[in-house]
A and B are shown apart, each in its own frame.
Chain A
Amino acid sequence: MFMNRWQETEAAAMQDAAGADPTARELALRVYSSRLIGQDPDLVMHGGGNTSMKQALRDVFGDDVPVIHIKGSGWDLGSIAAAGLPAVRMAPLLRLRGLTALTDEDMVNIQRSALIDSSAPNPSVETLLHAWLPHKYVDHTHATPFLALADLPDVAAITRELFGDRLVLVPYLMPGFGLAKKAAELFDANPECEGLLLVNHGHFTWGPDARASYDRLLEHTNLIEAWMAERRPEPLYPVAALPDRFVTGLLPMLRGAIAVHGGDLPVFDLRATDAARAFLARPDVGELAMRGVATPDHVIRTKGHPSGLTRRRFPVGRRR
């Protein structure tokens, strides 16, 4: 289960560190709950997921301008700071909803040109989806239980069983303008809903303040986690591990073999865990390896599927 790690004292300290300006103090809460979310790898991982907050900022003319603070490209939620949540003017973003199509280049350009600080990082590719939801705080995650549910063929029936009308299903579309349009339409048709389940992708939820949105995010995620846990088989017995010397003999050869095709020698990060070995001993492991990625943006990090090395195919004869 996911622990609720909100601490009022920590939240207050973040606000105090932000100074006296009420908009900076509000943004400090957005930073705080973004970090809480980002620091749990089973909620979001490495730039996956994004958070936002809407408020009005006073500009140099003295006008109060409605903006959305949205995660900037290149920032990680777990270590985000106020500078990583650039403010974008809401008016042009809202107006974009009237268009029937928008190229990626135009979307990026308009988002950039609507930045309050012209030197801020690019707003997230999911900015429009956040902007078109009317709630003040919006959290988008790729939580492990949500991905397991979102990648089931019968996701609709199970979501209804677990959440009733509280969650609305959004069919798979590539992130960007089209997905934002579809999600906003579905939200408008169900304005009382508490969140969106993006099929094959992840989860959106929201609230009037940072804590309410965070609480709801955990409540939704834990509901699925509990349901999954009840159905999870007993852990398998640990699978016999290959001797360490064998593995350290194998890795340099593998590194060289990859460099034959990829040019440079790559760097590895081995996770020799019982859980991984047990998974790799499943009878359906070969088929699962070919199924694909749990959420679309993983593909840029892992490719579409792993390369598999089975005992049958280990190089023989050359041992240190």
Chain B
Amino acid sequence: MGDFVTQYRAYFDRQASRSGGSKTPLNPVPGLVWIEGAGIVGVGPDAAAARIAADIGEQTLRVMADAQSVGTFRPISEADMFDCEYWSLEQAKLGKGKPLPLRGQVVLVTGGAGAIGLATAKAFKAQGASIFLVDRDAEALAAALHILGQDHHGIAGDITVQGTPATAIDACVAKFGGLDILISNAGAAQQGDMASLPDAVLRQSFELNFFAHAAFAQAATAIFRAQNEARGIGAGQILWLNSH
């Protein structure tokens, strides 16, 4: 990543002095990453920007492949590119205004299709976060995702089954690239006569109300650590919700 940033800064300095006038450098990070053996990654300050970059990135591969098969792909020069990149009317297309406080934050909500889970997801979405829902009920999950709208995602699965929490976290990472806030919400209260409550019900209650939370927390912590490794700071939050 350092190479890209160094090259971008050099490009800016080179072109800004050519074009004259005072230009303020944009954030020197890539909008696309090509990962050999994996695919291409759209990168953006939020999920919509990442999706748009990825769509353009995929189209560009088709353009390049076709151009190369009949000749040479030779687009506009670096100078012309710079003039567009730093043209005020192009930048205006990206819109202005203060970003929402949780823009760029990836939030995973377990039990996300239920009443409390979905209300929590909506509240985070309203602050600009990208939401990933996990719920046992596939139909309710689809309905909840429809309510959240484009650029929010989820996966159906029974989180009391061993391996499901890790799979769900991986699915979130595959979709958004990481995770910042885990809302460990899924849970249920088992009620009954303690004297005769079957062992299986008690164990299942612990699977849902304890072990699933622990498994999500462990998998989320591994993601937080990977994200923080390069930055040398600690970040990432876990919220345990308990409605008993």
* Secondary structure dominating the interface of B: helix
B88 x A293 contact (CB < 8 A) = no
Residue B37 contacts which of A41, A148, A240, A284 (CB distance < 8 angstroms)? A240
In the complex, which residue of chain A has the Cβ closest to the Cβ of B95? A74
A297 x B90 contact (CB < 8 A) = yes
B162 at the interface (CB under 8 A from A): no
Distance of B165 from chain A, by nearest CB (Å) = 13
B39 x A294 contact (CB < 8 A) = no
Query: Once bound together, how far apart are the Cα atoms of A47 and B48, in whole Å?
Result: 13
A73 x B41 contact (CB < 8 A) = no
A228 x B55 contact (CB < 8 A) = no
Query: Once bound together, how far apart are the Cα atoms of A279 and B73, in whole Å?
Result: 14
A292 and B42 in contact (CB under 8 A), knowing A233-B69, A251-B173, A269-B53? no
Distance of A143 from chain B, by nearest CB (Å) = 10
Interface residues on chain B, number (Cβ under 8 Å): 96
Residues from 139 to 154 in B contacting A, C-beta threshold 8 Å: none
A45 and B226 in contact (CB under 8 A), knowing A144-B62, A272-B38, A308-B34? no
A232 at the interface (CB under 8 A from B): yes
A308 and B33 in contact (CB under 8 A), knowing A151-B63, A250-B38? yes
Interface residues on chain A, number (Cβ under 8 Å): 95
A280 at the interface (CB under 8 A from B): yes
Query: What chain B residues lie within 8 Å of A58 (beta carbons)?
Result: none
Query: What chain B residues lie within 8 Å of A279 (beta carbons)?
Result: 61, 64-65
A291 x B33 contact (CB < 8 A) = no
A255 at the interface (CB under 8 A from B): yes
Distance of B219 from chain A, by nearest CB (Å) = 9
A151 and B75 in contact (CB under 8 A), knowing A247-B174, A265-B104, A272-B39? yes
Query: What chain B residues lie within 8 Å of A310 (beta carbons)?
Result: 36
A-B contacts, 8 of them at CB < 8 A, read: A125-B90, A151-B75, A241-B37, A261-B28, A268-B50, A271-B42, A297-B93, A300-B94
Q: When A and B form their complex, which 7 residue pairs have the shortest distance between CB atoms, in order from nearest? A: A268-B177, A262-B29, A252-B226, A148-B66, A272-B39, A306-B32, A307-B30
Interface residues of B (CB under 8 A from A): 1-5, 8, 11, 27-47, 49-78, 80-85, 87-95, 103-106, 130, 170, 173-180, 222-223, 226-231, 235
Interface residues of A (CB under 8 A from B): 41-42, 45-47, 73-74, 104, 108, 122, 125, 144-145, 147-149, 151-154, 158, 172, 174-176, 200, 228, 231-233, 239-242, 244-245, 247-273, 275-277, 279-281, 284-285, 288-289, 291-304, 306-311, 318, 320
